[in-house]
A and B are shown apart, each in its own frame.
Chain A
Amino acid sequence: MKNALEKGRIGSRQLAILIIFMTVGDSILILPSLTARAASQDAWISAIAGCLLALPMLWLWMALAGRYPQSNLAEYARGLLGKRAGGFVSLYYSIYFFFVSTGLIRELGDFFTIQIMPETPLRAVHLLILLVIAWGLAGGLEAIVRTSELFFPWFILLLLALLICLTPLLTPDNLKPMLSEGVSPILHGSLYVLVYPFAELVSLLMVFPYVARSRSTKRDILLAASIGGLIMFTVILFSLMVLGSYLTSNQVYPTYALAKKINIGSFLQRVEAVVAFVWVLSTFFKTSIHSYAFLLGIAETFKLRSYRRFIGPFVLLQFGLTYLITPNFAFYTDVLFKYWPFWDLTNAVLLPLVLLLAHSASRKRTALKA
């Protein structure tokens, strides 16, 4: 590695925590309603199917990253596809990471202005989130990851509190009838479970080279992704069992509606704003990593000296685009429902597959030469 843009190193435990945060990410907010819209009361089966579908994808990434343990996505894209095409691919990926993080900030902003602070302007919320993200980016990868480690116990604690407080309200009857519409809607639902928690983890390909590997790294990654998947499965299951499939699919934020239902002995109630901390945290870390991947990707693409000095322009750009990315809430949800999954899949499966094929092709060529 001649031109190391990132000097920091993270441990495999830190990576695992990061993966759990990113799998839960914004998915905890938007996923229950998307899957319930697609698969009604079978959404929980979709969740299992989606997690299983994610496994080959994770394997694909690890195969790719395992071939180049010292380089990030942008570096080996250039190495495999040549200067021109590789540069183009890494620029494309940077733009993709940028827009994922735009979407995430917008989702958080929409959530705040729809549910909690309806009179606060969207852009004010965006600006606050962006400033915190910029601060994290200025600290670098290590700072972000250490922060995630620091907040992780709180995150788990609040999440567990939410789930435990809801157990008295569970009605398993809401899950019936099973498989009444056949397998197709379940597949439809599993598309979202595959895409939003897992496929967007592809930004980690920019982070993998900076992980201090040990023998257990691979296992930790899989374990962390499964824990994230388990959390998503539980949240979907609870939404269905507490709210029913209709309300889950028709609520903009079913998880928040779930938190509103908490009422233990008329004593522990109205805690939703506290529980909202869960997805504020997870979305924040997912956004940070995507923003980081964008900055690093741009720096790699254009062979720049440092990525940190571009945080300022990044904030300016992001501030504009988070607001412009969608004219209203309905358009964005429609894109999330119909089109975005395929964009994610292109970048998480198709392109890495192409890179892997290019890798084996180049190996063959060198083998033939020798």
Chain B
Amino acid sequence: MIGFLVILLIAGVMIFLTLPAMLRRRELRDAAVYSLLTLGGIVFSTFAALLLPFPSPLRLVVAAYKPFADWLFSAMGWKG
């Protein structure tokens, strides 16, 4: 839980320091991307900080290339 709070605190300080300035200057696109990235950061960091299980994003890479890789490895007789 402490990990989550620390992350929230850091994110909060970050947002406080930069987001209002962006909004004031009407850089809305920047502000949106900033909020999105920060939100993602909070989510992922919390998973990491609290050691919660999370499926590896690399599984997408594996899923995308598995058919091709398997075919190539067996066609060329490469060590698996």
CA distance A343 to B66 in the complex (A): 11
Whether A362 is near chain B, meaning CB under 8 Å from some CB there, is no
Residues of chain B in range 10-67 having any CB-CB distance to chain A below 8 Å = 10-11, 14, 18, 22, 27, 29-30, 33-34, 37-38, 40-49, 53-54, 56-58, 61-62, 64-66
* Among A185, A310, A324: residue with most chain B CB under 10 A: A324
Q: Are A335 and B45 in contact (CB under 8 A)?
A: no
Give min CB distance, B71 to chain A, whole Å.
11
* Chain A residue at minimal CB-CB distance from B3: A123
Q: Are B79 and A298 in contact (CB under 8 A)?
A: no
Checking B10, B22, B44, B66 against A321 with a beta-carbon cut-off of 8 angstroms, the contacting residue is B44
* Chain B residue at minimal CB-CB distance from A126: B48
Whether A317 is near chain B, meaning CB under 8 Å from some CB there, is yes
Q: Are A338 and B73 in contact (CB under 8 A)?
A: yes
Q: Which residues of B contact A360 (CB under 8 A)?
A: none
Q: A309-B34, A312-B14, A316-B11 are in contact. Are A304 and B29 (CB under 8 A)?
A: yes
Q: Are B61 and A335 in contact (CB under 8 A)?
A: yes
* Chain B residue at minimal CB-CB distance from A321: B44
Write the residues of chain A forming the contact surface with B, with a CB cutoff of 8 angstroms.
37-38, 99, 123, 184-185, 187-188, 298, 302-306, 309-310, 312-317, 319-327, 331-332, 335, 338-340, 342-343
Give min CB distance, B33 to chain A, whole Å.
5
* Among A314, A321, A325: residue with most chain B CB under 10 A: A321
Q: A320-B41, A339-B66 are in contact. Are A313 and B34 (CB under 8 A)?
A: yes
CA distance A187 to B79 in the complex (A): 12
Please name the 6 residue pairs, one residue from A and one from B, whose CB atoms are nearest each other, closest first. A320-B44, A316-B41, A313-B37, A323-B48, A320-B45, A317-B41
Q: Which residues of B contact A306 (CB under 8 A)?
A: 30
Q: Are B46 and A320 in contact (CB under 8 A)?
A: yes
Whether B76 is near chain A, meaning CB under 8 Å from some CB there, is yes
Give min CB distance, B26 to chain A, whole Å.
11
Give min CB distance, B2 to chain A, whole Å.
13
Q: Are A325 and B38 in contact (CB under 8 A)?
A: no
CA distance A298 to B32 in the complex (A): 12
Q: Which residues of A contact B80 (CB under 8 A)?
A: 338
Q: Are B61 and A343 in contact (CB under 8 A)?
A: yes
Checking A184, A305, A313, A327 against B27 with a beta-carbon cut-off of 8 angstroms, the contacting residue is A305
Q: Are B48 and A123 in contact (CB under 8 A)?
A: yes
Number of cross-chain contacts by CB at 8 Å? 119
Given A188-B79, A304-B29, A339-B65, 11 additional A-B pairs, CB 8 A: A38-B79, A185-B79, A298-B33, A302-B29, A303-B29, A305-B30, A312-B38, A320-B44, A324-B48, A327-B56, A332-B58
Q: Are A302 and B79 in contact (CB under 8 A)?
A: no
Q: Which residues of B contact A321 (CB under 8 A)?
A: 44, 48, 57
Q: A317-B44, A342-B65 are in contact. Are A310 and B33 (CB under 8 A)?
A: yes
CA distance A338 to B66 in the complex (A): 8
Q: Are B76 and A316 in contact (CB under 8 A)?
A: no
* Among A185, A305, A327, A339: residue with most chain B CB under 10 A: A339
Give min CB distance, A353 to chain B, whole Å.
17
CA distance A302 to B30 in the complex (A): 8
Q: Which residues of B contact A310 (CB under 8 A)?
A: 33-34, 37
Q: Are B78 and A188 in contact (CB under 8 A)?
A: yes
Sampled A-B contacts (24; CB under 8 Å): A99-B57, A302-B29, A302-B30, A303-B29, A305-B30, A309-B30, A309-B34, A310-B33, A313-B34, A313-B41, A314-B37, A316-B7, A316-B14, A316-B37, A317-B41, A324-B48, A324-B57, A335-B58, A335-B62, A339-B65, A342-B65, A342-B68, A342-B69, A343-B61
* Chain B residue at minimal CB-CB distance from A342: B65
CA distance A315 to B11 in the complex (A): 10
Checking B10, B18, B29, B33 against A316 with a beta-carbon cut-off of 8 angstroms, the contacting residue is B10
Give min CB distance, A248 to chain B, whole Å.
14
